[in-house]
Amino acid sequence: MPARVISGTRIRDQILAELKEGVGELSAKGVRPGLGAVLVGENPASKIYVRNKIKACDQAGIYSETIMPPQEITTGELVEIVHDLNARDDIDGILVQLPLPPQVDSGKVLRAVSPEKDVDGFHPVNVGALVTQQPGLAPCTPTGLIEILKRSDIPIAGRRAVVIGRSNIVGKPAALLLLHEHATVTICHSKTADLAAVAREADILIAAIGRPAMVTREFIKPGATVLDVGTNRVTGAAEAERILAGMPKRLERFREKGSALVGDVHPADVAEVAGAYTPVPGGVGPLTIAMLMVNTLKAARQRHAGPSSSRSAFSML
């Protein structure tokens, strides 16, 4: 039986529809959630990401504003911009688009964001809340992974989950969220001995290592659910042939464009071995932006709720 393809686009649209209702309820009380995005310099990929986030804000009824300082900005100047956004009552969430220029201390800038407005979930206060299962704002991609599993009726409790990748943005928080859902979790990385064998034990396999099509059939337990977080742009013909062989339409598009977007999981192998999987593109990616919108609504609810309402204010929608 062919593997089930899990559409992240469909799940994103479900969440955005629910989100729009939640934003409407808050707006009826005189509060319109607001997101401030800081985009430094002229990085084309970053511009696209921010543009897509602003478009999602418009769709959901969230106020958005983009601050675009020059590439030459200093750490101190960027921290001042963040402090100004922290002080503004019309801004509930602050997004600092990464990567930042090399002269900027990214850690210092991210720590300057008020935890209650930290919609990326990167501040140490929110990381601590995630570890201890307290109300807070968790990173968007990992929370999107949990939504994919739940909304696809894929059980988590009692299942063996393997996360390939240990980044602070995806790997570690994804492992914690799976643990909170009562999965038995293993985190793998570049130093893991016999990585394929460990991955093959997973009922739920999450690939977030940043290497094109590294996860091949020998990594995948037959019938497993595979969530591919990777977003890799391939431009070499030989690599494209290796990854897209047997997928003539995608290979033809590569030849026309000179590049192709692929995940960390080999697309043909996962389709043949897995029970269900997210494609690239159209899988995990759309959920990241949707969960950013969810975090912005959460932050607005929390900021305008009384202290006793903190737990309910951080409910999903």
Give the chain's residues under pLDDT 70: 306-317
What is this structure's pTM? 0.92
Residues in the chain, total? 317
Q: Which residue has tokens 């919108």?
A: 293
* Whole-Å CA distances, 243 to 111, 197, 239, 272: 39, 21, 6, 14
Give the three-state DSSP class for 309. helix
**Residue-level pLDDT at 317:** 54
Active-site residue list: 53, 97, 120
CATH of domain 140-285: 3.40.50.720
**Residue-level pLDDT at 306:** 56
The encoded tokens of residue 129 equal 């809340």
Asked, colleague to colleague, whether 29-114 and 140-285 share their fold, the answer is yes
Domain boundaries, the chain: 29-114, 140-285
**Residue-level pLDDT at 118:** 98
CATH class of domain segment(s) 29-114: alpha beta
